[in-house]
Structure 1
Amino acid sequence: MRRWLWYLLALILVGLLAWGGYAAYASYQGLRAKVAALEARLSAQEEALKGLAERVGKLEEEVFKAPTPPLSLPEVPEAGGAPVWPYAVGVVVAAVLLYLLLRLLRGQEPKAQAPSPASPDLEASRMTDEGAPPPPGERG
């Protein structure tokens, strides 16, 4: 009984090896078909690129053969004159403001610089009213 068990085990092992080999061969054939499809696609794209390169070359020849006007700067459009009245109004307003500022400064200067003649007497009388001794010239 033992002998036929070894034969059965060997037969199963050979069957598994045959099935694994067939699966590997099938996947190899699938990969080979994919590689062939990619090569065909690559060659088609290569041909398309060659055709496009030829067309671009022909277009470049046509462009370089065509006469072109000489390069020059574009014409500058005539500028319309800007209105002058805003500038004139601004100058007049600035002059009026300057005049008013100077008049204001002149009007305040005499008041600040010219003390009244009675102010020292007023100061002395205020001080004496508050209890300070009278100035030396007015003691009596």
Structure 2
Amino acid sequence: MKRWLSLVLLLVVALLVVWAGYQGYARLRALEGQVAALESRVQAQEQALKALGDRVGKLEQEVFNAPSPPLSLPEVPKAPSAPAWPYAVGVVVAAVLLFFLLQLLRGNRGKEGAEGQGSSGQENHEASRMENEGAPPKKE
């Protein structure tokens, strides 16, 4: 019985090897078919590129042989200038605002100076009157 079992087992292994070999062969044939299709596509594209290259060469030859006017720089179109009035209005408005700001600052300084000079102004007036009457000048 061992002998038949080993023969059956050997036969199964042989069938598996044959089946695997056939599958490999079938895949190889399929890949060869794909490679042949790709080669034919590459050859067709190569021929198309050669034809395009010939056409480009003919066009270049026609361009170089065609008479052309002498090369010169094209005239630059004049760009429309921006209006100047917004800038003038802006400068005038800025000057007026600066004037009012300075007047405001002077007005505040004048008030502070008037308050501080009110008492000192009286002292100066009295000192100058006393000097006019003959008193010696005040030492500070």
Deviations 1:61-94 (A, max 9, x none): 1453324777776654321132222112112212
Q: What count of residue pairs does the alignment treat as equivalent? A: 117
- Equivalent residue number for residue 33 of structure 1: 29
Q: Does 1:116 align with 2:112?
A: no
Q: In the alignment, residue 23 of structure 2 is paired with which amino acid?
A: S
Give the direction of change, closer, same or farther, for the CA distance of 1:70–1:20 in structure 2 (3 Å limit).
Answer: farther
- Equivalent residue number for residue 40 of structure 2: 44
Give the direction of change, closer, same or farther, for the CA distance of 1:9–1:112 in structure 2 (3 Å limit).
Answer: closer
Give the direction of change, closer, same or farther, for the CA distance of 1:14–1:97 in structure 2 (3 Å limit).
Answer: closer
Equivalent-residue separation in structure 2 for 1:116 and 1:110 (angstroms):
11
- Equivalent residue number for residue 54 of structure 1: 50
Equivalent-residue separation in structure 1 for 2:41 and 2:29 (angstroms):
18
* Structure label with greater radius of gyration: 1
Secondary structure of 2:119 counterpart: coil
Secondary structure of 1:35 counterpart: helix
Q: In the alignment, residue 116 of structure 1 is paired with which amino acid?
A: G
Deviations 1:6-59 (A, max 9, x none): 553454245324423431342133123113212212211221231232134224
% identical equivalent positions: 37
**Residue number among 11, 14, 19 corresponding to 2:15 in the alignment:** 19
Tell me the C-alpha RMSD between the 2 structures. 3.3
Q: In the alignment, residue 35 of structure 1 is paired with which amino acid?
A: L
Alignment of 1:1-140 (within 5 A): 5=1, 8-9=4-5, 11-13=7-9, 15-65=11-61, 66-67=63-64, 75-114=75-114, 115-117=117-119
User: TM-score, normalized by length of structure 1?
Assistant: 0.60
**5+ residue gaps, structure 1:** 122-140
Secondary structure of 2:118 counterpart: coil
Give the direction of change, closer, same or farther, for the CA distance of 1:120–1:48 in structure 2 (3 Å limit).
Answer: same
Q: In the alignment, residue 89 of structure 1 is paired with which amino acid?
A: V
